[in-house]
Amino acid sequence: GGNGVGERSTPSPAIRRAAVIGSGVMGAGIAAQLANAGIRVLLLDVPPASLTEQEARSGATLQDRAVRNRLAAASLAKLAKQEPPALYEASFIHRIAAGNLEDDLGRLGEAEWIVEAVVERLDVKRSVFARVESVLRPGTLVSSNTSGLSVAAMTEGRGEAFRKQFAVTHFFNPPRHMKLVELVPGPDTAAGTLSRLAAICEQQLGKGVVLAKDTPNFIANRIGTYGMLTTIEAMRAFGLGVDEVDALTGPAMGRPKTATFRMLDLVGLDTLLHVLDNVRERSEDPSERDAFARPPVLEALVANGWIGEKAGSGFYRKIKRPGGRSD
């Protein structure tokens, strides 16, 4: 019963090849999940607009494959170092190939499922989908990992075939631990697209799938983000420190130490700001729009480049001060 599509997902042929676009926190994690389930993955990112100092010194050019695949390749290298070998088959990384959205666009034709996990901006996602559509084959599934952008808005301007083959598959962070996937159809998503995506997530990836409506932030994030905002406000009102809040809302309550601010650092504070902005833009409820205002502390951290673990610092700093405190 309930919202779960679990009981309804009938066995369907397993997919063997997928592509993930965007190799950040989520894209890399999703690629690892797929590869660990035996699926070959093409992991694409945008080619860089300039050389790093080191590349320039070593005589590399922007045309070099290694340079153009820099982001996806770096994500792969990081994953290979981080993923606990006990949880993963040692060979999983070899099922992932790094590439970039310009040179390797045509290779998307080989994928049975294309997962988009680029930055949470409607304009960027739209332009990625326009490119995907230009090489899309009949029957290829396309999904977005958006935290809460509308399916209708993301697929505006795309043809009927694309819109039928498209839905949101919202994975949670970190994908290897989080069991939930929200599946969100748009107005034109075909029933077969939904049932095939549900079958892959449940049967091949071992996830629990929940069907959500195309509302701002869907279900879990709407509640979760609101909870985070009230915690930030409580911290300010009560003059608490970041580590005090984490201790009080985490282990002291029988929850993991990633309960609050460590979790936000893991999510990425820039991504969180995008999520807040999206809700404010989409919500028709004035009190919800007020509740999702940008907290000044978040704006200040992001303005300094302290966007969380992916940058080394966020609410927590990587470099400890002499006193040993790390907040």
Interface contacts to ligand NAI, rule CB under 6 A: 22-27, 45-46, 71, 117-120, 124, 128, 145-147, 171-173, 267-268, 271, 310
Stretch (H or E) spanning 271: helix 269-282
The smaller minimum CB distance to ligand NAI, of residues 163 and 274, is found at: 274
Packing angle of the helix pair 70-82, 25-36 (nearest 10 deg):
60
> Helices marked H in 136-258 — which ranges?
151-154, 160-164, 191-199, 220-238, 242-249
Nearer to ligand NAI, 244 or 277 (CB): 277
CB of 322 vs ligand NAI, minimal distance in Å: 31
CB atoms within 10 A of CB 218: 21
Mode of pairing for the β-strands spanning 113-116 and 40-45: unpaired
Considering the complex, what minimum distance in angstroms separates the CB of residue 146 from ligand NAI? Answer: 4
Nearer to ligand NAI among residue 71 and residue 132 (C-beta): 71
CB of 44 to ligand NAI, least distance (A): 9
Output 121 or 240, the one with its CB closest to ligand NAI.
121
Tokens at 89, concatenated: 């088959």
Query: What residue number has its CB nearest to ligand NAI?
Result: 24
Q: How far is the CB of 140 from ligand NAI (least distance, A)?
A: 19
Grouping H, G, I as helix, E, B as strand and the rest as coil, residue 234 is helix
Beta carbon nearer to ligand NAI, 26 or 242: 26
Strand 40-45 to 96-100 pairing: parallel
Tokens coding 194: 């939904």
Residue type, 117: A
Closest contact distance (angstroms) between CB of 180 and ligand NAI is 10
CB of residue 86 vs ligand NAI: minimum separation in angstroms?
A: 24
Given the complex with ligand NAI, which of 5 and 168 has the nearer CB atom? Answer: 168
Choice between 141 and 279, CB closer to ligand NAI: 279
* Dist. CA 114–CA 108, nearest whole Å: 7
**Closest distance to ligand NAI from the beta carbon of 22 (Å):** 4
Q: Minimal CA–CA distance to 313: which of 273, 248, 269?
A: 269
- Report the first-to-last Cα separation within the chain, whole angstroms: 44
- Asked if the peptide bond before residue 174 counts as cis, ω within 30 degrees of 0, the response is yes
What's phi and psi for 301, nearest 5 deg? Answer: -60, -45
